[in-house]
Amino acid sequence: MARCPVRSGHFFEKRECQSMSKATPDITQRVEELRSVIDDHNYRYYVLDDPRIPDAEYDRLFRELQTLEADYPELASDTSPTRRVGSAAETSFEEVVHRLPMLSLDNAFNEDELREFDRRVRDRLGISEDVEYVCEPKLDGLAVSLHYENGALTTAATRGDGYSGEDITANIRTIPSVPLKLRGEDVPDLVEIRGEVYMPKDGFEQLNRRLAERGEKTFVNPRNAAAGSLRQKKSTVTAKRPLEMCAYSVAVTDESLLPDTQWDGLQRVQSWGFRINPEMRKAKGVEECLEAYSELMAKRDTLPYEIDGIVFKVNRLDQQNALGFVSRAPRWAIAHKFPAQEELTVIEDVEFQVGRTGAVTPVARLKPVFVGGVTVSNATLHNMDEIRRLDVRIGDTVFIRRAGDVIPQVVKVVPEKRPSGAREVELPDHCPVCDSDVIQIEGEAVARCSGGLFCPAQRKEAIRHYASRKALDIEGLGDKWIDIMVDQGMVKTVADLYHLTTDDLVKLERMGEKSAANLVAAIDKARKPVLWRFLYALGIREVGEATAKGLASHFGTLEAIAAADEESLQSVPDVGPIVAGHIRSFFEQTHNRETLDALRDAGVEWQEEQIQKGDKPLKGQTWVLTGTLSGMTRDEAKEKLESLGAKVAGSVSKKTACVVAGEAAGSKLAKAEQLEVPVLDEAGLVALLHEHGVDAG
Ligand code: JCF
């Protein structure tokens, strides 16, 4: 048996001598106490987003309760927090007739339609002043209805056709943010809560990764994943799916038991133990609704879940009642939709591109389609495995998805729309750029051009990478010029850049004297890079910024890195056998050694780096930067913090050591305050950097 948690020590002793005996009042009391404490922690965690104990402590409490419940079966309770693991029995999804129909929402697709909605509301109410609305994100999930009797969850149903749905109680019970028992003293005997079950974006990504690893079918989007998870016959499967629920409405038999606005009603629902949307706000009049729309739209990509619009509801319930319903939608609510993040289009062709490392990547050429706010005409298909997984053919109609800044993805083929002439995609035998053989290594998804730096595509990419912002940051050396210079044979390797003269450059079409001089000056500025940047700029496979920094500070000179064997390379953090192998083979290739010699001859001097001995002051800490700094860019601040050993992450969690909040810091700062993570302002950051001898600009 695992070591007994200290807190429960004496219960274990009792159990050993009185095993399977009746629970004593002590034990009954402890079980009740544990349930209540765990419910409280769940509430803080899932509803308030404000956990108060470390996960390990929570786990100990939870295990103690599980052990006691196993030993004293007579204490079992359906509302115990341990009862969320689901059951392997198959559910049959019986029909449930909704006591009150589950309404849908009318949509407004633009500003005018929203203004008309507001005008209709005021006309019907016979008022000219501004109406107060509650605004909340419209979650992209599935509507559910939950019934509670005397505070305990009795049935949960899907929306179905609005009049009757399916009984999904067993599955709903596994969702941690759905209370099995309502909290508080003011719970009416009968309550119906409606809300949306959804899958947060990160949970969706993880689930799809897990499914793909097991060779199972992945889900197209978080909504389908949520739907698929709720439709599982075995609730043990649903229990493993990262679902959440957010409440948006409440009904009780006796309305006098509820506050008289939508807003206050939902606050009450929250106090009973439900998650309500933290972005919810009030708006007075349609102009403020439009503001709420723009603000939410700007935040859309940073929210941890997908939304497809914003819902506006008249706040006062007496006004809602006066407005009533038309057919199946309330007259007091409307959904103002955001641009869709998924659209259908046709794959007109599939071409292959060659990247810096020679990876031959299939790219779908699409019939242009407006999705996620931009017109998309290309989408990567990643590799041949992906093409097989999706079963994509040229001519197919596909779902294109573009959410946030993520590159557009082909997520699904519509098989019914496949034309008879649809062509299969074939990996070319020869590089489309240099005609060298394309090789596909067993067990690797990517195919590669074997031409190395003889391949102009790889040469161009190598130069592009060398000049990129995080590498040597050569301003003015854009893709267009690199293409021309390589195509005309002016530049074969990065070393050739340093020999370019203004006279050479002005010969290029549309290159003026001034741009030519600026470019020569920018290249000249890139003659004395710090070691890690230079190393990163070389474009060794899988040597990113962080690895380059690690190598530079461990070895101090390029010569030492070039001479290191695989074993000593692996003493650098994040360098495993594969990366070590890439580094070795880079330095073993003659043309790379020649390029390095040529760079040296061209006067490029990479700076030696201080070899880091002992621990850096911020080693092991994760920092987060947010808002605008006045004295440095965020990238500069990141670099400086990293030089002190910190990792810089994009989001705040309990594990964040410190948040640096610049001007106009937003949700990350709020999150830090909520989680009680220390916060530094810019002056504090500058002071800290000075203290550790880092130049703070
Ligand atoms: O988040 C949602 N998808 C959502 C759907 C939010 C709401 O407040 C809703 C809804 C569907 C119907 N309210 C109604 C009345």
CA 74 to chain CA centroid, nearest Å: 44
Please state, in angstroms and rounded to a whole number, the distance separating the CA atoms of residues 116 and 106.
Answer: 12
132 and 316 Cβ atoms separated by less than 8 Å: yes
H helices within 300-437, ranges in order?
Answer: 317-323, 384-390
Q: What is the pLDDT of residue 192?
A: 96
Tell me the per-residue pLDDT of 19-61, one tens digit each, with 9 for 90 and over: 557 889 999 999 999 999 999 999 999 888 888 888 889 999 9
676 and 626 Cβ atoms separated by less than 8 Å: no
Average pLDDT over residues 665-694: 85
Cβ-based neighbour number of residue 452 at 10 Å:
17
The more confident residue out of 85 and 580 is: 580
SS3 sequence of 487-500 = HCCCCCCHHHHCCC
- pLDDT > 50? residue 16: no
What's the gap in Å between 269 CA and the centre of ligand 1? 15
- pLDDT > 80? residue 499: yes
79 and 38 Cβ atoms separated by less than 8 Å: no
Q: Tell which phi-psi region holds residue 311, choosing left (phi > 0), alpha (psi between -120 and 50) or beta.
A: beta
- pLDDT > 90? residue 97: yes
Rounded-to-5 percentages of helix, strand, coil across the chain? 40, 20, 40
- pLDDT > 60? residue 14: no
Tell me the per-residue pLDDT of 137-180, one tens digit each, with 9 for 90 and over: 999 999 999 999 999 999 999 999 999 999 999 999 999 999 99
Q: What is the pLDDT of residue 611?
A: 75
Q: Indicate which residue's Cα is closest to atom 8 of ligand 1.
A: 248
- pLDDT > 70? residue 7: no
Tell me the per-residue pLDDT of 213-253, one tens digit each, with 9 for 90 and over: 888 888 989 999 999 999 999 999 999 999 999 999 999 98
Query: Which residues, at least 6 apart from 321, have a Cβ–Cβ distance to it below 8 Å?
Result: none
Coil, strand or helix: which one is 388? helix
Share of the chain above pLDDT 90, in %: 68
Strand blocks (E) in 510-657 = 622-626, 647-649
Q: Which of 138, 412, 638, 671 is catalytic?
A: 138
Q: What is the pLDDT of residue 54?
A: 87
What's the gap in Å between 327 CA and the centre of ligand 1? 16
- pLDDT > 50? residue 1: no
Q: What is the pLDDT of residue 214?
A: 87
CA angle 502, 503, 506 (to 5 degrees): 80
Please state, in angstroms and rounded to a whole number, the distance separating the CA atoms of residues 153 and 193.
Answer: 10
Instruction: Report the chain's terminal Cα–Cα distance, integer Å.
Output: 58
Question: Which residues in 70-109 are b (16+ Cβ under 10 Å) and which e?
Answer: ebbeebeeeebbbebebeeeebebeebebeeebbebbebe
Average pLDDT over residues 517-528: 94
- pLDDT > 50? residue 358: yes
Tokens (6 digits) for 168: 């999904």
Question: In the block, which residue shows the tokens 């990238």?
Answer: 635
Probe target for ligand 1 pocket from 104, 135, 196, with the most ligand atoms within 8 Å of CB: 196
Please state, in angstroms and rounded to a whole number, the distance separating the CA atoms of residues 30 and 25.
Answer: 8
Average pLDDT over residues 613-627: 81
Q: Which residues line ligand 1 (CB under 6 A)?
A: 103, 105, 136, 138-139, 143, 196, 248-249, 311, 330, 333
Average pLDDT over residues 363-369: 97
Please state, in angstroms and rounded to a whole number, the distance separating the CA atoms of residues 496 and 638.
Answer: 32
- pLDDT > 90? residue 205: yes
139 and 196 Cβ atoms separated by less than 8 Å: yes
Q: Which domains does the chain have, with CATH numbers?
A: 106-337 (3.30.470.30), 341-424 (2.40.50.140), 456-601 (1.10.150.20), 622-691 (3.40.50.10190)
Give the DSSP letter of residue 629: -
Average pLDDT over residues 80-109: 91
- pLDDT > 80? residue 11: no
Coil, strand or helix: which one is 516? helix
Which band of pLDDT confidence, cut at 50, 70 and 90, is reported for residue 558? very high
Write the CA distances from 363 to 52, 352, 355, 381, 572, integer angstroms. Answer: 48, 6, 12, 5, 36
* Active site annotation includes 282: no
- pLDDT > 90? residue 290: yes
Mean pLDDT (the chain, rounded): 90
User: What Rg value do the Cα atoms of the chain yield, rounded?
Assistant: 31
Tell me the per-residue pLDDT of 421-435, one tens digit each, with 9 for 90 and over: 999 999 999 999 999
pTM for this predicted structure: 0.69
CA 187 to chain CA centroid, nearest Å: 36
SS3 sequence of 144-173 = EEEEEECCEEEEEEECCCCCEEEECHHHHC
Tell me the per-residue pLDDT of 465-495, one tens digit each, with 9 for 90 and over: 999 999 999 999 999 999 999 999 999 999 9
Q: What is the pLDDT of residue 544?
A: 93
Question: In the block, which residue shows the tokens 């006309």?
Answer: 123
Probe target for ligand 1 pocket from 140, 249, 275, 277, with the most ligand atoms within 8 Å of CB: 249
**Residue 363: strand pairing partners:** 351, 380
- pLDDT > 50? residue 646: yes
- pLDDT > 90? residue 667: no
659 and 669 Cβ atoms separated by less than 8 Å: yes
